[in-house]
Structure 1
Amino acid sequence: MRTMLLAITVASTLLSLPVRAETFSGSEVNLVGSAAMQSGELQLTGNLQGQGGAAWLTSPLATARSFTVTYDFSLANAGRENMADGVALVLQNKGANAIGNVDAGSYLAYFGLDGVGSVVQTWFNNTAGLNIDGNPSTSKKAPTPLGTAQLVTGSETVSYDAAAHQLSMSGTLNVDGKAFPISDSVSIDLAAKFGPSMYLGFTGATGAAFADQRITRFALTILPEQKVVVVPGETTVVVPEEKSHTLLLIGLSVLLGLGILLVLLRRKD
């Protein structure tokens, strides 16, 4: 019954929140809920209670491809004793108009999406790490309290190796001017979890406490598709996609043909 009620809550939230198309860092995104573009930055929540926002790339990503995402973020306290609640980079297969549960700020509008993410959670939760169970509060603990800070900024690089089924994160948290390195790594097969495609984006939320929470820079690099061939008794070999093989064979054929032509011309002379 509890699971059914959660599903109904999330579904009703999806239907009631507006969706707007915008451009962020050169990419087309759908903005959901409180998400908005402010001076070229993606603002997920403002300094207001009970907000929940999400932004998704409008085109899905293939789960069979490796990729790297780099982004910067800013969580600014409004001068209160504690700020809340945080942001997350999220992968999910619910669609480009989705948003998670916003009944509590600590859910980050991520809980309920059954997604995978890199979480930065403030208030008293204080987490900063990868998450694969859809619950931001189970993520790795931050190296220092974040909720009591006046300004938390940071940068992260999140990479997925589709051949090795490995998701990794590294970056820096700047908490009131003091830098803390962060990193995390988990094993997960995104194709097995999501099927052939998934959506990438960001979510954030506030509760009784709040903060101005933004993604200030974003870049995505998708790597060529790879195949894994296991040779018995030997090391696993990663082979480029078939298109690369075809182009390589064509190039070798052209070079071989030119070589034969040069030999014939020399003999004729």
Structure 2
Amino acid sequence: VDAAEAATVAPAPGPGDPARDRWLAELTAGLDHAAAGRWAAATDVLRPLFAAARIADGDDEDLLPNLAVAAMHLGDDEVGADYHGRMLARARDSGAMVLVLYALTRLAAGDVVTGQWATAEARASEALALGEETGQPVLAAMPRATLLLLAALRGDDAAYDALLPAVEPALAGEPVGTLGGMLRDVVRWARALRTPDPAAAHRHLAAMSYGPLVRSAGVDRVEAALRAGETAAAEAWAAGLAGFAGATGQAWAAA
């Protein structure tokens, strides 16, 4: 969506329109900037929005998950966890199991990259069990992939070898909807960590395409490229991460 299309989807609200309309317009504009890699502009729009759009009862099922997605794209793990946590609490209270599964899956993904591995394992395991018990194989695929990545990060060969065959059907043609890009990239990251071949690890990581995961795996991507002798790729990836850090002020990216 370019800027003109974004304005058509969410026209600028008038002075008398509700705050929610303004938030939706700002959210659309911020996501448009993020999709184009205009990180300074995205930050300028989204960071004040995160501060303003505190939905006390967590009742807006359209706005809340998309604010959480915007936080993921901006690399703001704390804000993303806050919004997904609100979704989870409300879904548990209302008995909306599919939303519980969705929120647990997104929270677990955030826990992995922030180093909260025990919490990630607990949440992904609960989401996987819910997906299987409710007959939601598409939604079960992502928490299973998260557990695969955790096994790879921990060097747990037995768990990794047991999980990979269970993940592969979702990669071989089963429809996984909007989670497809995330799922493939999580598995690519896990495979790269477990292969002893630097060139193969680099190929897996170079194929990643989902922005938040590409940046989360940034250190591993640069290291794999250097080990494989792909110095130009390493320099380009490091420069991209540095530009993101400079525009967003994210300390993890700067480090």
TM range (shorter): under 0.3
Which of these two proteins has the greater Rg computed from alpha carbons?
Answer: 1
Q: Which has the higher strand share?
A: 1
- By relative contact order (CA 8 Å, sep 6+), the higher-ranking structure is 1
Taking structure 2 as the reference length, the TM-score comes to: 0.27
Q: Which has the higher helix share?
A: 2
